[in-house]
Amino acid sequence: MRQSSLVVVANRLPVDDSVAPDGACEWRRSPGGLVSALHPLLQHTPATWVGWAGGTGPAPALPDIDGVRMRGVALTRDDVRDHYEGFSNSTLWPLYHDAVEQPVYHRRWWEAYQRVNQRFAEAAAEAAEPEAVVWVQDYHLQLVPGLLRAIRPDLRIGFFLHVPFPPPELFMQLPRRAELLLGMLGADLVGFQRAQAAHNFAQLAARVLQLPATDRRIAVDDRVVRIGAFPVSIDTAEMAALAQREDVVRRAARIRTDLGDPQHVILSVDRMDYTKGIEQRLKAYSELIATGHVKVRDTVLVQVAVPSRERVEQYQILRERVEREVGRINGEFGRVGEPAIHYLTQPFDRSELAALYRAADIMAVTPLRDGMNLVAKEYVAARVDGGGGLLLSEFAGAAAELEQAFLVNPHDLEGLKLALMHALQATPADLAARMTAMREHLRVHDIHAWARSYLTALDGSGRLAARFTPA
């Protein structure tokens, strides 16, 4: 087995196996914030990515992708059910997102979580050179830092949580809360999206584990674990370059024509997830049509909602409800050839997403809770023309940075309607001033800056960051 000096460990590999129209198996980039963040970062660096390819049974042999070695971890059907769909996405995911859906606890899910974390830790240990850096990602793998340190004490281990880390009142519900905290504390550096999350973590380490803890450092045995906020970002330059490509500009114009050249195109792009506030947004939009504030001929909503975690019951229920509501709104307010909502569930390639962003006057990103939300950042990066308006939930991590967006509380239906109207009626000068400020922020705070700041904190010098990120 070839070993690397940098190993990224994430539940998902950056590719999904899917079946092409001719029945052949093909690989495509998996949608989701983690992959969008790490994929551009690791391109052409001597790294190994340890993760799951999305199927069951033996891990497929994968080719290197853009110079990155892919090391698949095999999951059985039971592992997927109990680790991925169960403990990760029916216990931790809802709990970490303000319990907007009820978290579910089952003892056998915890056993699977431990078992699968152990397997990931062993795969990472095999893939890492002596004294390598191993960077563990997200809530599916919170035990990996501790398990890996036990096998390979020579490694430098980082952990980054892409989703929110909840306040103690919520986290304390977890039956295995101490083990989860200790697992994360196996890392040398634990990174979060927001300073509040690091604060929550420090409070819990003190309360549950009685460890000396500040918002920057936690003492564990004879080690000091550093913690902090490192807001993740996107490859701003890559998205901007894509959005400027002639074919993308032409495609954006074509999208507007196909939509009937309305005055306003509103766009939302989400994974089909109950944290994304899709139902609240549809309700606000339909009420605005019903009261005549929005006219279907003048304004269209394009809702892209790519199915996600489709075997989890809460996701199945959400999809049914969203599709029923889209059908109701189109049935009630649409006309022949003029639906009120254009609803798309397909995964798109990056250039089609860029064209959609460029075609949209208003991007509505209104999650009930979101660790960061990279779609909001992608939209801003794509608006190389300086146009467009961003309607953004206060409960997305991105709101702390994109302060010039039209910020909204998505739980407040009247507030949501007002903010949408405000964005729709904003003057071009107001929109341009907001967009320019947000673009400038993202020009500096891109994915490379994120990696530099995290990796510099991880090794205490600039050496590691210089090895893996462009100057």
Distance CA 137, CA 407 (A): 29
Distance CA 253, CA 240 (A): 17
What distance, in Å, lies between the first and last C-alpha atoms of the chain?
31
Distance CA 19, CA 454 (A): 37
Q: Among 161, 202, 341, 353, which residue interacts with ligand ADP (rule: CB under 6 A)?
A: 353
Distance of CA 379 to the CA centre of its chain: 14
105 binds, among ligand F6P, ligand ADP, none (CB under 5 to 8 A by kind): none
Shortest distance, CB of residue 52 to ligand F6P, whole angstroms? Answer: 9
Q: Indicate the angle between helix axes 236-244 and 374-382, nearest 10 degrees.
A: 50
Positions touching ligand F6P (CB under 6 A) are 12, 32-35, 138, 162-163, 271, 308-309
Distance CA 308, CA 339 (A): 25
Question: 360 burial class (0-12, 13-18, 19+ CB within 10 angstroms)?
Answer: buried
Q: List, in order, residues 6 or more apart from 250 with CB less than 8 Å away.
A: none
233 binds, among ligand F6P, ligand ADP, none (CB under 5 to 8 A by kind): none
Closer CB to ligand F6P, residue 35 or residue 305? 35
138 binds, among ligand ADP, ligand F6P, none (CB under 5 to 8 A by kind): ligand F6P
Closer CB to ligand F6P, residue 19 or residue 336? 19
CB 435, CB 386: distance < 8 Å: yes
432 binds, among ligand ADP, ligand F6P, none (CB under 5 to 8 A by kind): none
Query: Strand 406-408 to strand 389-393: parallel, antiparallel, or no bridges (unpaired)?
Result: parallel
Distance CA 173, CA 274 (A): 21
Q: Among 60, 168, 262, 347, which residue interacts with ligand ADP (rule: CB under 6 A)?
A: 347
CA-to-CA dists, residue 58 to 77, 128, 236, angstroms: 11, 21, 37
Question: 400 burial class (0-12, 13-18, 19+ CB within 10 angstroms)?
Answer: middle
Closer CB to ligand F6P, residue 309 or residue 434? 309
Please give the positions annotated as active site.
162, 370
Shortest distance, CB of residue 68 to ligand ADP, whole angstroms? Answer: 18
Residues 281-320 that bind ligand ADP (CB under 6 A): 304, 306
309 binds, among ligand ADP, ligand F6P, none (CB under 5 to 8 A by kind): ligand F6P
Answer yes or no whether residue 31 interacts with ligand ADP by CB under 6 A: yes
373 binds, among ligand ADP, ligand F6P, none (CB under 5 to 8 A by kind): ligand ADP
Answer yes or no whether residue 390 interacts with ligand ADP by CB under 6 A: no
Dihedral of the alpha carbons of 320, 323, 324, 327, in degrees to the nearest 10: -160
Binding marks (x or -) toward ligand ADP, 213..252, rule CB under 6 A?
Answer: ----------------------------------------
Residue indicated by tokens 């254009």: 342
Residues 253-282 that bind ligand ADP (CB under 6 A): 269, 271
Structure tokens at 289: 């049509």
Residues 354-383 that bind ligand ADP (CB under 6 A): 372-375, 378
Shortest distance, CB of residue 273 to ligand F6P, whole angstroms? Answer: 8
Render the burial of 69-98: b for 16+ CB within 10 Å, e for the rest: bbbbbebeeebbbbbbbbbbbbbbbbbbbe
Answer yes or no whether residue 40 interacts with ligand ADP by CB under 6 A: no
Answer yes or no whether residue 36 interacts with ligand ADP by CB under 6 A: yes
Shortest distance, CB of residue 36 to ligand ADP, whole angstroms? Answer: 3
Shortest distance, CB of residue 35 to ligand ADP, whole angstroms? Answer: 7
439 binds, among ligand F6P, ligand ADP, none (CB under 5 to 8 A by kind): none
389 binds, among ligand F6P, ligand ADP, none (CB under 5 to 8 A by kind): none
Residue indicated by tokens 């009120």: 340
Shortest distance, CB of residue 255 to ligand ADP, whole angstroms? Answer: 14
Shortest distance, CB of residue 32 to ligand F6P, whole angstroms? Answer: 3
Containing 16, the helix (H) or strand (E) segment is: strand 15-19
Containing 134, the helix (H) or strand (E) segment is: strand 128-137
Distance CA 94, CA 113 (A): 16
Count of residues interacting with ligand ADP (CB under 6 A): 16
Q: Which residues are near ligand ADP by CB under 6 A?
A: 31-33, 36, 269, 271, 304, 306, 347-348, 353, 372-375, 378
